[in-house]
Amino acid sequence: MAKVYNWQIGREMEYPYEGVRPKKQFAMIFDLNKCIACQTCTIACKTMWTAGRGQEYMFWNNVETKPYGYYPLGWDVKNLELLGVQEMPGPVYKGKTLFEAAPQGERILGYLPDDLDYAHPNVGEDDCTGLMEQGAHLTLPHMNWMFYLPRICNHCTYPGCLGACPRQSIYKRSEDGIVLIDQQRCRGYRECVKGCPYKKTYFNPMTRVSEKCIGCYPAVENGRQSQCTITCIGKIRLNGFIATPDKAREDNPMDYLIHIAKIAKPLYPQFGLEPNVYYIPPIHVPPAYLTQMFGWGVDEAIAAYRRAKDDKKILGALLLFGSTPDLIHHYKLEGRYTIGYDERGVELVRVPLREPIHVRVVYDDKHQAYRSNIT
């Protein structure tokens, strides 16, 4: 195996191929404090990409409730159990990645889900960790809790699916880092389904080959954000490109939130795939659980999020979520606005940092009517 550098675990690690980073890397940030599991993203993806035969059970985008929701059933706890207890005391991960923990004769540690594991995409939905006792009151973190976790393919820098495929039928595009399964070359061995810990490759039993989230590459190639992003009614998502920490640009909202403000964290970085979907942790959930899920630095991320209202750079980046269907490459604060620009520097959107307040008198003399509308 080759040695590659994974900045999320702060060290070199083993990977079946040499580390070649794409020119640009597709990335997404989800603000988990805002997701309401309305599944609009799921349906946008479903109708766009997986309406065909053999794709009935597939959700390239899904939203599950944590801690008791899973699609497929138990995907994360099964991986954690396979990997065993590992140490991540700080920015340098001391434990083993899934590549390093691969059994003899295997490329990666993983498991193939059972057919029935996909049968309950809504299992655990809205299930809280416990019942509230008499006299309970609001605390942070909450006494009992749950939150929603939207998931797509992480378009990993070191994809498990790609590493596991013995035919090199999976490739990572050099132009945008999107990971695709070659639909002409795949033979349906399901090594990728076994090898992706996030279970975001799916076997199509009608075509008998595997499929996965394509990062809406036709949209991305044309400067548009993915369907799941632009249809999100809660404006919890931002789709863009991320640099490595050493090349982070302060005027790229993705880089700013992930590398500089350190407000958004990768999902299970200890698996070692350097996933490129980042999550702003929910502030009401106990940090121990969040640390297991998002790795080291969750407390700092929550602290940064809580001061966002007073930090214009953070606020400016957060307000770009859901503000435009176009891909934002740069942003700038100007007066009371945050402004998003495309790759060539053309202004895409201008969002006020604070919504203007209009005060209207309660009684309208002209129409001789009381106003009850407050919006």
**Interface residues toward another protein, by CB under 8 A:** 51-57, 104-107, 112-115, 118, 164, 166-168, 183-191, 193, 203-209, 211
Q: State in angstroms the smallest separation of the CB of 16 from another protein.
A: 8
In the complex with another protein, which residue's Cβ is closer, 187 or 371?
A: 187
Q: State in angstroms the smallest separation of the CB of 115 from another protein.
A: 5
In the complex with another protein, which residue's Cβ is closer, 110 or 322?
A: 110
The residues near 218 (Cβ < 8 Å, ≥ 6 apart) are none
Q: State in angstroms the smallest separation of the CB of 59 from another protein.
A: 14
H/E stretch holding 40: helix 40-49
Q: State in angstroms the smallest separation of the CB of 369 from another protein.
A: 47
Spatial CA neighbour of 67 closest among 140, 142, 138: 142
In the complex with another protein, which residue's Cβ is closer, 219 or 351?
A: 219
3-state helix, strand, coil in the chain (%, to 5): 20, 20, 60
CA distance 38 to 125: 11
Q: State in angstroms the smallest separation of the CB of 194 from another protein.
A: 9
In sequence order, what DSSP letters do the residues of 46-100 get, joined into one string? HHHH--STT-TT--SSEEEEETT--SSTTHHHHHHHHH------SSS--S--TTT
Q: How many helices (H) and strands (E) does the chain have?
A: 10, 17
Q: State in angstroms the smallest separation of the CB of 123 from another protein.
A: 17
Q: State in angstroms the smallest separation of the CB of 56 from another protein.
A: 6
In the complex with another protein, which residue's Cβ is closer, 186 or 339?
A: 186
Q: State in angstroms the smallest separation of the CB of 182 from another protein.
A: 9
Q: Helices 287-294 and 298-306: crossing angle, nearest 10°?
A: 110
Strand 337-341, strand 330-334: pairing: antiparallel
Residue 227 gets which letter from DSSP?
A: H
Strand partners, 240: 27
CA distance 207 to 98: 29
Distance of CA 28 to the CA centre of its chain: 6
Are 112 and 190 contacting, i.e. CB atoms less than 8 angstroms apart? yes
Whole-angstrom CA distances from 82 to 78, 85, 96, 320, 326 are: 6, 9, 11, 39, 40
In the complex with another protein, which residue's Cβ is closer, 53 or 358?
A: 53
In the Cβ-directed half-sphere of 50, how many Cα atoms lie within 13 Å? 26
In the complex with another protein, which residue's Cβ is closer, 107 or 151?
A: 107
Q: 323: how many CB neighbours lie within 10 A of its CB?
A: 16
Spatial CA neighbour of 256 closest among 20, 12, 29, 21: 29
In the complex with another protein, which residue's Cβ is closer, 74 or 205?
A: 205
In the complex with another protein, which residue's Cβ is closer, 185 or 336?
A: 185
In the complex with another protein, which residue's Cβ is closer, 204 or 229?
A: 204
Q: State in angstroms the smallest separation of the CB of 212 from another protein.
A: 11
In the complex with another protein, which residue's Cβ is closer, 8 or 210?
A: 210
Q: State in angstroms the smallest separation of the CB of 161 from another protein.
A: 14
